[in-house]
Amino acid sequence: MVSLTFNSPIENLDFPLFREKAITVDMKRDDMIHPFISGNKWRKLKYPLREARRQGKTRLVSFGGAWSNHLLALACAGARFGFRTLAFVRGEAVSNPNLSLCRLFGMELRFVTRQAYRDKVTLFADHAAHDEGAFFIDEGGHGPDGARGCEELVDELGDTYDHIFCACGTGTTLAGLHNGIVEKGWATRLHGVPVLAGGDFIRGSLDRLSRHDVAGRVALHMAYHFGGYAKTTPELNAFIQHFCAHTGILVEPVYTGKLCFAVFDLVARNQFSRGNRILLIHTGGLTGILGMHQQLVEPEKSV
């Protein structure tokens, strides 16, 4: 059976700002689902992996950048559930802690030019021509099966929230949450925080993956990308430092740090009513810190 079944816990975030504004903010700890098959990456892989198993496939083939949380999740899930894994990695051959972990979990890596990377269908077809066991999984686990796994998060919420927030890369997670919430008949307002500049394309992704009208139900907050994907600023770094030190919950600058910053900022700007209940989804992805720890926190100087 391809499963990692347990409901991730929900924890309250206790900050003076939230008390002052009389707002409850909880966090769904999907980062606790697994250390490497992290958060939303597990949810997005669940149904593709089951489909691969059903079809008797033996090798999962996917795509990503050198710091992809998705590739690491796939490498580990492949090892755990008995699939070989092959990744086409965008750009020149490099080595970093994320790729070393992928290799450790037995993933085969092929570096391809940015040009070749754009045509994933051809990359896959060339490989599959001599490997019948190959099974295609899109970059980041993007797609309807990915959204379906994310939808299940909603079933784990014992309580209803006025607002639910998540960080967005492709928008697959947000689309799944939207489907789940509409089908529950909840009035919950859903919010996405795009972590890339120009996150407007997420609207298109939402429209394609949602079974229900998105208009007026999902808010995208475009002002929290901090310069673009995997970019950070001293302000975001200082916020992350404060958040981690205050809660014991790790967030990082690529996804969840931007998410948390956005919620704190919106609360401070009185965008919610007193008594509102807000849920943040911690989508995991903590190994991203391995590539940024030096710019995130300054080490002490020796005296």
**Using CB under 6 A as the criterion, which residues of the chain lie in contact with ligand PLP when the complex forms?**
39-41, 69-70, 140, 167-174, 255-256, 283-285
Closer residue to ligand PLP in complex, CB, 86/193: 193
- We find the least distance from the C-beta atom of residue 41 to ligand PLP, in angstroms, to be 6
The residue behind tokens 């590739």 is 71
- Taking only Cα atoms into account, the Rg of the chain, rounded to an integer number of angstroms, comes to 19
Closer residue to ligand PLP in complex, CB, 256/276: 256
- We find the least distance from the C-beta atom of residue 169 to ligand PLP, in angstroms, to be 3
- We find the least distance from the C-beta atom of residue 174 to ligand PLP, in angstroms, to be 6
Closer residue to ligand PLP in complex, CB, 266/289: 289
Helix (H, G, I), strand (E, B) or coil at 277: strand
Q: Which residue is nearest to ligand PLP (CB)?
A: 285
Distance in angstroms (rounded) separating the CA atoms of residues 237 and 257? 8
- What secondary structure letter does DSSP report for 60? E
Other C-beta atoms within 10 Å of 248: how many? 7
Distance in angstroms (rounded) separating the CA atoms of residues 65 and 75? 14
| β-strand partners of 168 | 194
Distance in angstroms (rounded) separating the CA atoms of residues 30 and 195? 18
- We find the least distance from the C-beta atom of residue 168 to ligand PLP, in angstroms, to be 4
- We find the least distance from the C-beta atom of residue 42 to ligand PLP, in angstroms, to be 10
Closer residue to ligand PLP in complex, CB, 78/171: 171
48 is written with which tokens? 């593709």
Closer residue to ligand PLP in complex, CB, 78/143: 143
Helix (H, G, I), strand (E, B) or coil at 109: strand
